[in-house]
Amino acid sequence: MEYKKIKIKEEFIRLDSALKLAGYVSTGGHAKMVIQNGEVKVNDEICTMRGKKLYNGFTAEFDGNGLVVDNES
């Protein structure tokens, strides 16, 4: 699986925001639903917390797509 780099300027990004930024979901409501349904993995473990903080190097996977957080600082 290829991972899309999500560049952030802050220390972390919330999981729901990362999924939207990557273009894997279209709305916050859609992100909330797929996360709470256990369809998203963070660092290879299923995560049901939409507010999960993703730091530099964290990975997330959803529906065959992956992202990796890249903190620019």
Confidence band for 2, pLDDT divided at 50, 70 and 90: confident
| Residue 35 · residue 18 · CB < 8 Å | no
Q: How many domains does the chain have?
A: 1
Decide which of 1 and 12 is more confident.
12
Query: d(Cα 69, Cα 60) in Å, to the nearest integer?
Result: 9
| Residue 10 · residue 59 · CB < 8 Å | no
pTM: 0.93
In tens, the pLDDT along 16-73 reads: 999 999 999 999 999 999 999 999 999 999 999 999 999 999 999 999 999 999 998 6
Domain encompassing residue 47: 3-71
What CATH number is attached to the domain comprising 26?
3.10.290.10
**pLDDT of the residue at 72:** 81
Q: Which residues contact 53 (CB under 8 A, 6 or more apart)?
A: 12, 13, 14, 15
